[in-house]
Amino acid sequence: MASPRRNTRNGQSNARGTTNLQAIIEVIGGLINIVQHQVGATNPTSALEKFRKLDLPPFKGTKDPIEADNWLKELERLFRAMEVRDKQRVIFAVFVFKGDALEWWESTVRTHGREVITWQHFVGLFRKRYFPDSLMVQKEVEFIHIAQGT
């Protein structure tokens, strides 16, 4: 007996056509899962959720430059471990700002207008605010004059 042919008038197909269509649907479903997984891995919101779960203490600003520098180093260490891209680093860093640090950042953003602030630029601005050059020179002088005993 011959297999039924597709009736093009009413859109019905034979058993083989249905099997092929099901296979195509399964392949498309698999591709959708792969794409969703890859997009989720690079989705800034998803990455932000992972970052929040690390529970980095908020940075409220400080008069102690060593504390500020240590906070920045810890942040960079986390970014490397999470493989956070430069574009996201500023967003994540600012996300944990509170108090004086947040006020400073909002003022900095207003000053820079629509200019994109890269991670390197952010680090420079952060260090200038919380670890000024004058203090850096003072620490260098202290280091040079370190003596062991007599």
pLDDT recorded at residue 60:
93
The pLDDT of residue 125 is 93
Q: Vertex 60, ends 58 and 64: CA angle to 5°?
A: 115
Q: How much is the pTM?
A: 0.60
What confidence score (pLDDT) does residue 39 get?
45
Provide the residue ranges of all domains of the chain, joining segments of one domain with +.
1-42, 44-143
CA distance 94 to 58: 9
- 10-residue mean pLDDT profile of the chain (150 residues): values are 52 64 79 58 65 81 89 91 88 92 94 90 92 75 76
**Calpha distance 117→132 (Å, rounded):** 19
Phi-psi bin for 139: left (phi > 0), alpha (psi -120 to 50), beta? alpha
